[in-house]
Chains A and B, each alone.
Chain A
Amino acid sequence: MPKDLKLSGNEETLIATVTYDTKDLYGKIEAKREIKLKKPEEEKEDKGEKTKK
């Protein structure tokens, strides 16, 4: 995961799509997996977004 990846907001969900081409066996098979991300706490603080405790 690139360290400099910019998230749209404090949290973002990426989608990983895996596609198999199994030809005569089953044809194309596709599946998706969510990858949940959040910004590091220090970045939230820098932008004044850190939640008050």
Chain B
Amino acid sequence: MAKCRWAIGGTLALMFMCSAPSSPGADEKPAPDVKAPAAASGEAVFKMQEVSVFDQKEDPQTANFRMFGSAMASCTTKPATEVKAYPKLNSKRALYGMVVVNRDPEKPGPGTKCYFVLDESGTSEKAAEKPAEKSGEKAAEPKKSSGPRYDRLYFDANHDLDLSNDPAVSVMKDPPENAFQFLGNRENCQAFDTVAVQVGDEGAKDQTVRVLPVLIYNAGLETLYRGAGQVTFLPASARKGEIRLGSKAYTAVLMQPRGSIGRMNYASCPLMLTPVAGAKKAPAYPWLNSLGMVREADGEFYTISATPSGDKLTVQCYSGDRGVLEVSKGKRDIKEIGMAGLLQSKGSYLPLGDFSYMPTEKSKIAKYRLPVGDYMPAILNVTYGDLQVSLRADYTRSQGGKPASNMEIRNDKPYVLDFSEKPEVKFQGPPQDKVFQPGDNIRLAAMIAIPEKGLLIGGLDDLTKKVGEMKWTAEGKEMSAPRYESLEPTVVIADSAGKKLAQGKMPFG
């Protein structure tokens, strides 16, 4: 969407945001020691080992993904009425709380409630009086000498609402420093030992993921007791193993869901595949590293699913019908056409071509044979002669109850994108019924829609005019790509007599 703000003085102030892209798709090559899959069109199950996310220091992608996951719980001095039984507590000022796990980021729901209580053993005050060097331990607790010392955690890991059958969790003696990377002041954080939370269906006790509880002393221990405390639960475990897609072998790292903790079988759970053959790493762009993404290898499409704990990955080769998606010149006299992008279908993503987040490279593939189904373009970058057109689903249609876009890929009829449909400019602002006063900020926002296709043009660049370089850092490397002139629309604002009051350019958004 193009946005334009008419600022004081009658000039047009333009806003432009640019996100750093990831590198293009991996250059995957067959692993020399990998045999052809037992069943190219069948299903294969791979075991995944539990690993600590804090040990994956060599992998910046894992570190980046870690920051997205966590769940916070505020503490209170009152026990939860839902809890059937608490353990016998030593402290008279225990702190109670509840955290929600197993929340699918893409399907809002109640999740699973896990209650906990923080207790004081009464023994840590003496230990705290000793210098850390003499005790041979790192200072795992905040340097506070007064107020409560919560050194025991009871966590309802099996969520049976009975905390009396859960073991006391102690303060972690040597917490991983990178656990505190995104938690603010390290001195205010106290980590407990990791807890194995049951995430499987009832009775599946072996389906667990590990979380790291960190008590955060926001404003000192005294204030904490009055209810200002908070426990942040970080994902502590991931799963790692080797899997195959067709003849290619990959090291797979599966993580707990973004923005949450718990089950690893949600479509949005990060799943990074790194070719064993030593080719490039997978790009860091999040959508390209999700469990629910459809992957392509050796010309075949594969879907991957996981158990709740992630201890097994199942790779399924698509064997159904395929249909054609193509971009066409239509009646235009243009030479180069092609497209690359990311399609969405029922919670999963399908990358097209050598997709990069930024539409900087010319796409040369004009026709794809895809699994039949209904798709929506999350991003579709089309090279159309001297133009680069960035398309996406028209989300404004879904606000009116219609599907945002529906690219119907069928086996008997190609879906053709030839830009022959009539475009339409859609204004998103200012509201038509609103009356402004001089001095008000007015947000003028417009975009080109292709109503018949349910598409929006989110960007339009002239590939004959290079205007600079984009630079960014990805996986520790300096990257760059050409930046082409954006065919931004002009805006003229005139009064009722037709007198021009302001004019300027509006960026594509």
Contact = CB atoms under 8 A, between A and B. Distances in A.
B439 to A, nearest CB: 4
Interface string B486-497: 010111111111
Interface of B: 2, 6, 8-10, 332, 334, 384-387, 389, 419, 423, 425, 427, 430, 432, 434-442, 444, 446, 448, 457, 460, 462, 487, 489-497, 501, 506
Contact of B9 (A2, A19, A33, A37): A2
B334 A24 contact: yes
Contact of A33 (B6, B427, B436): B427
Contacts of B425: 18, 20, 29-31
A50 to B, nearest CB: 15
Nearest to B503: A17
15 contacts: A1-B437, A5-B438, A16-B493, A19-B489, A20-B425, A23-B487, A24-B384, A25-B389, A29-B423, A33-B432, A35-B444, A37-B436, A37-B437, A38-B436, A39-B437
Given A14-B495, A18-B491, A2 B427 contact: no
Interface string A1-34: 1111101100111111111111111100111011
B283 to A, nearest CB: 28
Contact of B8 (A2, A7, A12): A2
Contacts of A7: 438
Given A14-B501, A18-B446, A2 B438 contact: yes
B190 to A, nearest CB: 52
B436 A36 contact: yes
Contact of B460 (A11, A16, A25, A36): A25
A48 interface: no
Contacts of B389: 25
Given A1-B8, A31-B446, A38-B437, 14 more contacts: A1-B442, A3-B439, A5-B501, A14-B494, A14-B496, A14-B501, A18-B489, A20-B487, A24-B332, A24-B385, A35-B436, A35-B444, A36-B435, A39-B437
A16 B506 CA distance: 12
Given A12-B496, A36-B435, A40-B437, A26 B423 contact: yes
Given A18-B506, A24-B334, A4 B492 contact: no
Interface residues of A, number: 34
B502 to A, nearest CB: 9
Contacts of A21: 487, 489
B448 A29 contact: yes
B448 to A, nearest CB: 6
Contacts of B448: 20, 22, 26, 29
Contacts of A14: 493-496, 501
B93 to A, nearest CB: 56
Contacts of B493: 14-17, 35
Contacts of A18: 2, 425, 427, 444, 446, 489-491, 506
